[in-house]
A = this chain, B = another copy of it.
Amino acid sequence: MSLKIALAQLNFSVANIKANSAKIIAAAKQAKQQQADVIVFPELCITGYPPEDLLLRNDFIEQAQQAVDAIAAEVQGIDLVIGYPQKQGQQLFNTAIVLRNGQCIAEYHKIALPNYGVFDEQRYFKAGRQNCLFNIKSNRLALTICEDIWQPGIIEQNRIAGANIILTLNASPFHAGKMQQREDIICQQINAANIPLVYVNQIGGQDELIFDGASFVANAQGEIVFRAAEFAEQLSLVEFIDHQPQISDIAPLYQPVISEYQALVLGIQDYVRKNGFQGALLGLSGGIDSALVLALAVDALGADKVEAVLMPSRYTQDMSNEDARLEAEALGVSYHSIPIEPAVNAFTAMLEPIFAGSKKDTTEENIQARCRGVLLMALSNKQGKLLLTTGNKSEMSVGYATLYGDMAGGFAPLKDVFKLLVYQLAEYRNTISAVIPERVITRPPSAELAPDQKDEDSLPPYSILDPILALYIEQDKSAADIVALGYPISAVQRAISLVDRNEYKRRQSPPGIRITPRAFGRDRRYPISSAYRGAATLIQE
């Protein structure tokens, strides 16, 4: 006996209940035309995910319920499995319901509420306590939501309860390697329980988060028999015969670097689109970070929506200006050049009476960076374009950036990209078409805020710095652990003490795109006022 299940891997917008509903109705009607028996949508598809503290607003919750009622009334002849926040009395549940010809025939409350990393679900939701099965033709389907199937036990419980097929609604955020991890863990569980599973994930960017899609169907042996594309909307149909899924298209998973590149492009695209910007602009220095951000922005938005601004100072080398121009021209992006000297001179003169007698220090470097910030923000304000910052995760970690200077902007695409990966991404982009001048990739990185400045004058080389930072920030390793892994004590000390001292800068940085298991932002919540010094124990040794 045949059962056709449609997987609606779509891009929903947080709080755009009207547009999300329209998308759900259109997809359901299309699936019905294709003879689907049931269509499965992602977790909280009505509201988008994560709605964060909007979930505390009664009017918001009521709007979501009204949208569900309207969808139920609108779509007939196909079952819809929809996720939304459902209030019962004073309790809110992360809910999946099944709508059939205007009626709700099944209702499930998410049992496992993640409250770690970027997740705050226990802030909003009460946990459900029981599984929920419903029938289509001779099939018995079980509802689960995202975290549920990462926990041991829930799939098995559903099998014992008589389920033939597990449906799971997801909003599972991307980080590099996550898709493989996801499939491995889930397929192991379903293989153990000997039951097939339909996994529907949303796609799209939402502030810091990227949802990568990669929805799939696995058979009872835990083998993937269908996979949707990553980072793209896709409405797909998988047929089950006698409860067993038939083999269908299996889109390949992107390799690392490529998947990260795709995630960054989608992140920029959706941040600009969902916030209604006219386009994007950025300061193009001739360095590798802004070179990569420009390429990403053009790939995300198209060259006509992107503008580059060169802002040379006395410390900017000719080759920097030259390379910036070359890239802008290669990408077909319009650009301006505004030398910053007049503003820097004005501030220097204005501060002269107060600073007389004091030594030059980073104050003077910061003034240059902040003059650029003022110019870029003026262009952004005047044109309604989003200002992209170009700093990377290595810089954000150690505070090698100027608050209100190069950190000024609405969105930070590279905030979670370590410098070594910046190079890899640039090289990958050039394999598609050579837009980033080779010299930008090969010359030593410099902030060009002082004569002959190089990053390595202030920081350990990135080949040492980046792995230390990853161990400390993403894995919570102690300084001693990191030294034991073979990294030089002085570099570990320097890196960690800079991370510890620069939380205040990160707290005021724009949101960026999360591509690692721990990004700065909702994912890492550190106090600013903190005496914790991770490297202090090393000094005692």
Contacts and interface: CB of A to CB of B under 8 A. Distances in A.
B54 A530 contact: yes
B381 A363 contact: yes
A14 B526 CA distance: 11
Contacts of A358: 382
Copies of this chain, how many? 2
Interface string A140-169: 000000000000000000000000000000
Interface stretch (A251-259, A296-304, A342-350, A419-427): A342-350
A171 to B, nearest CB: 13
Interface string A54-88: 10111110000000000000000000000000000
A361 interface: yes
Contacts of A507: 510-511
A50 B201 CA distance: 35
Interface in A195-226: 205-207
Please indicate which of the listed interface residues A53, A115, A404, A537 has the most CB atoms of chain B within 10 Å of its own CB: A404
Nearest to A348: B378
Contact of A50 (B52, B378, B404, B527): B527
B350 A343 contact: yes
A373 interface: yes
Contact of A378 (B340, B367, B378, B379): B367
Interface stretch (A184-192, A270-278, A440-448, A454-462): A270-278
Given A378-B367, A507-B511, A508-B509, A274 B529 contact: yes
Interface residues of A, number: 84
Nearest to A15: B532
A26 interface: no
A313 to B, nearest CB: 13
Given A59-B480, A122-B115, A532-B60, A374 B374 contact: yes
A478 interface: yes
B51 A527 contact: yes
A16 B531 CA distance: 5
Given A60-B532, A525-B52, A529-B207, A375 B346 contact: no
A375 to B, nearest CB: 7
A532 to B, nearest CB: 4
B373 A59 contact: no
Contact of A207 (B343, B373, B527): B527
A489 to B, nearest CB: 16
A373 to B, nearest CB: 6
A290 to B, nearest CB: 19
Contacts of A504: 275, 410
A528 interface: yes
Contacts of A537: 59
Contact of A347 (B366, B378, B528): B378
Nearest to A117: B123
A355 interface: yes
Nearest to A507: B511
Contacts of A206: 527, 529
A343 B351 CA distance: 11
A349 B381 CA distance: 17
A439 interface: no
A57 B476 contact: yes
A282 to B, nearest CB: 15
A433 B16 CA distance: 53
Contacts of A532: 14-15, 54, 57, 60
A526 B53 contact: yes
Interface in A349-383: 349-351, 354-355, 358, 361-363, 366-367, 370-371, 373-375, 377-379, 381-382
Nearest to A62: B478
Please indicate which of the listed interface residues A122, A349, A355, A379 has the most CB atoms of chain B within 10 Å of its own CB: A122
Given A53-B524, A377-B404, A534-B59, A529 B354 contact: no
Contact of A367 (B19, B53, B374): B374
B363 A378 contact: yes
A525 B207 contact: no
Interface in A319-358: 336, 338-340, 342-343, 345-347, 349-351, 354-355, 358
Interface in A33-53: 50-53
5 contacts: A15-B530, A60-B532, A271-B529, A347-B374, A363-B382
Interface of A: 13-17, 19, 50-54, 56-60, 115-116, 120, 122-123, 205-207, 270-271, 274-275, 336, 338-340, 342-343, 345-347, 349-351, 354-355, 358, 361-363, 366-367, 370-371, 373-375, 377-379, 381-382, 403-404, 408, 410, 476, 478-480, 504, 507-511, 522, 524-532, 534, 537
